[in-house]
Amino acid sequence: MKQSPLLLMMLTPLTCWGATAEEEALQQQLDQLRQQLIQQNQALHQLQARLEAVKSSGVTATGTGTAAVTPARAQQEPDRRSPEPGRSTEDLLLEQHNVFDRALTFDLGLSYQHYNRKDLALRGFLALDAIFLGEINLDRVRSDQISADLVTRYTLNDRW
């Protein structure tokens, strides 16, 4: 079927009209997201300004750090302390961080290795498929090794 330029020119506005509704919906959604982003940025800047004001005045913030403590509130709310860490938590922290708490550490290591090997070596030839003429060598190698290692670690700062 041959398409005439006149027919194409007549159908072009119709195709653009259908796409325009979809474009408008996408544009509205994009505008809404931009507005939300602007509002979030404004809220972020306000919170940063509050935080700087609190830091400069020396007053600590409560909970999430979004609002400063007023004297009236401080008298009404009881002191909320975090629970003390359990014994297992302390033991785990000591076990995990004992190497990095000191600047210079020495670790002594002891290792044991056992090695056992059996070899059968046949050198010669078979005569009449039943008689072996040559040398039969049966070796058994056993080895026990004990080694001691001394490792020294020096940390430059607390993070390394």
Task: Look up the pTM and report it.
Answer: 0.28
3-class secondary-structure state, position 3? coil
Query: Are 143 and 114 spatial neighbours (Cβ–Cβ below 8 Å)?
Result: yes
Amino acid sitting at position 108 = L
Domain carrying residue 156: 102-160
Could you tell me if residue 96 is inside a domain? no
Q: How far apart are CA 125 and CA 133, in angstroms?
A: 5
Same domain, 53 and 18: yes
Same domain, 19 and 57: yes
Q: Residue 99 — φ and ψ, nearest 5°? A: -75, -35
**pLDDT 10s digit of each residue in the chain, 160 long?**
455 666 556 666 655 555 678 888 888 998 999 999 899 989 988 988 888 888 888 755 454 454 444 555 555 555 677 777 777 877 777 666 555 566 788 899 999 999 999 999 999 988 888 888 999 999 999 999 999 999 998 877 765 5
Could you tell me if residue 91 is inside a domain? no
Same domain, 71 and 129: no
Q: How far apart are CA 111 and CA 151, in angstroms?
A: 13
